[in-house]
Structure 1
Amino acid sequence: MTRIGYTLMTEQTGPRELVRDAVRAEAAGFDFEVMSDHYFPWLVSQGHAPNAWATLGAVAQATERVDLMTYVTCPIMRYHPAVVAQQAATVALLSEGRFTLGLGAGENLNEHIIGQGWPAANVRHEMFDEALQIITELFAGGYVNFVGDHYRVDSAKLWDLPDTPPRIGIAVSGKQSVALAGRYADALIAVEPDAELGRQFDEVGGLGKPRIGQVPISWDPSRDKAIERAHDQFRWFAGGWKVNAELPGPAGFAAASQFVKPEDVAENIPCGPDVEAHVAAVEQFVKAGFTDVAVVQVGGDTQPEFLDWAEAELLPALRRL
């Protein structure tokens, strides 16, 4: 049976509300919760970007059952990989083993803040490979020294490390990232229901490992309001990963999506009260072989009402898949 998750989207909700929503989502019956890790929202209208790691620590203490995950953290610029390893080990201890470290090669949107420029995709994957080496070595315990083309580590050690290290999930979009997932990942992460990514993962060592997807939905009793909100806050989604990874800030995403129409968004994101439309969006991932799918409800201020509806209607319908 596919596990159904809930997304704690930092770009659209403040930290206290995220903790509140995490508790309510657990009570509603979601199997796991994923949290984005952003320094900026995609669009100004989303309006938030609290620190994911501080918030995850609070969520780990406020929840009891749900698995937790970063979806995803970039360990190549804004965070040094040794710091990411320390953060992940701490959250794993706080959650008593419920944490998976989701990692990806990042977006310019969040990484440009350190003022070192945004590397080309091939360079980012080189950096990501070295970061994964450092993190996995630190998870193994003991002192780590590392000298690479992009990073140096001098006598690092995780002093608080769980007996079982955090699981690692790796976000993929093509052969380069799938190859890294085959070498380092306990789970594959993707935001498109692409069965080919899973097939490639199988070929490089991922056979039998979880595949974790994510799908945006815009529930509202009024379909018109749901479309309006999705267009206002999620029209950037139409750009696709290769575009979205490169733009440097909300103004860039606003400009890039200025000609996206509400009806265009409604074609890609299910909007309104029809539970079957939302189920169909999740079902695309199920048919593509994903074992876990996290839904994103568009609109930070709609989460309490959405979670009530999800408990009563969405989750029972998804269980029937």
Structure 2
Amino acid sequence: MTERQGGYCVAMTNFGYTLMTEQSGPRELVRYAVAAEDLGFDFEVMSDHYSPWLTEQGHAPYAWTVLGAVAQATSRVGLMTYVTCPTLRYHPAVVAQKAATLQVLAEGRFTLGLGSGENLNEHVVGEGWPAIQDRQDMLAEAVEIIRALHTGDLVDHRREYFQVDSARIWDLPDEGVDIGIAVAGERAIEVFAPLGDHLIGVEPKPELVSDWNAAAPA
């Protein structure tokens, strides 16, 4: 982010805090979120997992319930899922409704962070684990559905991976819901830069940013 001061562009850095659902229970996460806001953090992201990475971590609360509580307990920080997979464990129509409701509660502070998922969390519904190209194609179709539902229109959708029958979201935020997409690699950038509002980099590589900006619509 840049801010113009006295004729010069000054780079501004935003600092975020990660709410780790694998390491803490829901009540602790809300307390940490409030403390992070009080300490001056600019935004907070929350992992959305069904299982912890290691059994020793011992936690995996439902991220969306916790984020709703965080939205009410805080007033300034930006909030984001980091990241939600809207293809297997969640149907994209359900993610669209959850994101809209959370944005209403957060009064415009929420960004929907999406990704193609990990087997650790998505296998629990028994639908198998598709190859990466299939998962990326599923995610692209899911983003299309979420965007359509966030218009408030009645949506019917029948394509390769998903079906939506006469769905409408009734409580929509005035601000809309920005979508960030996690990417790593050239194909992911090519597919998702035109679809997302924000890049979520999974590696500290500056070329991810430059390639995303080059592929994103003007």
The TM-score by the shorter chain falls in which range? over 0.9
Per the TM alignment, residue 206 of structure 1 is displaced from its structure 2 partner at its CA by: 6.2
Among 78, 87, 90, which residue is 2:98 paired with? 87
Q: After the TM superposition, which parts of structure 1 deviate over 6 Å for at least 4 consecutive aligned residues? A: none
What one-letter code is carried by the residue in structure 2 that aligns with 1:173?
A
Distance 1:140 1:180 in 2: 22
The match for 1:201 is: 212
Counterpart check, 1:166 vs 2:196: no
Partner of 1:112 in structure 2? 123
Highest CA radius of gyration, 1 or 2? 1
Matched residue, 1:250: none
Residue 24 of structure 1 is matched in structure 2 by 35
Specify which structure has the higher proportion of helix. Answer: 1
User: What percentage of aligned pairs have identical amino acids?
Assistant: 61
| Structure 2 unmatched ranges of 5 or more | 1-11
- Structure-1-length-normalised TM-score: 0.63
Q: Which is worse superposed, 189-198 or 84-93?
A: 189-198
- How many angstroms apart in 2 are the aligned matches of 1:51 and 1:179? 32
How far did residue 191 of structure 1 move? 2.4
Query: Is it true that 1:42 corresponds to 2:61 in the alignment?
Result: no
1:140 counterpart = 2:154: no
CA distance in structure 2 between the partners assigned to 1:179 and 1:71 by the alignment: 21
Residue number in structure 2 paired with 1:8:
19
The 5-angstrom pairing of residues 302-313 of structure 1 reads: none
Seen in structure 2, the aligned counterparts of structure 1 residues 198 and 101 have a Cα distance that, compared at 3 Å, is same
- Give the superposition deviation at 1:180: 3.0
1:156 aligns with 2:167: yes
- Judged with a 3 Å threshold, the aligned counterparts in structure 2 of structure 1 residues 46 and 206 are, in CA distance, closer, same or farther, namely farther
Aligned residue for 2:75, secondary structure, equals coil
| Equivalent AA in structure 1 for residue 83 of structure 2 | V
Bigger relative contact order (CA 8 A; separation at least 6): 1
- Distance in 2 between residues matched to 1:65 and 1:198, nearest whole Å: 26
Answer whether contact 1:125 1:176 (CA < 8 A) is retained. Answer: no
Query: RMSD of the TM alignment (CA)?
Result: 1.0
Match of 1:101, SS state, is strand
Letter of the 1:49 partner, please give it.
A
Instruction: Quote the Cα distance in structure 1 between the aligned partners of 2:158 and 2:196.
Output: 22
The one-letter code sitting in structure 2 at the alignment partner of 1:45 is: E
CA–CA distance in structure 2, aligned partners of residues 2 and 179 of structure 1: 27
Normalising to structure 2: TM-score of the pair? 0.93
Spell out, residue by residue over 1:235-275, the C-alpha distance to the aligned partner (whole angstroms, 9 max, x if none).
xxxxxxxxxxxxxxxxxxxxxxxxxxxxxxxxxxxxxxxxx
**Aligned AA for 1:93?**
V
The number of equivalent residue pairs is 207
Give 3-state SS (helix, strand or coil) of 2:216's partner: helix
Contact 2:140 2:192 in 1 (8 A): no
The answer to whether the Cα contact below 8 Å between 1:57 and 1:91 also exists between their aligned partners in 2 is yes
Matched, 1:101 2:112: yes
Structure 2 letter corresponding to 1:48: H
d(CA) in 2 for partners of 1:56, 1:98: 11
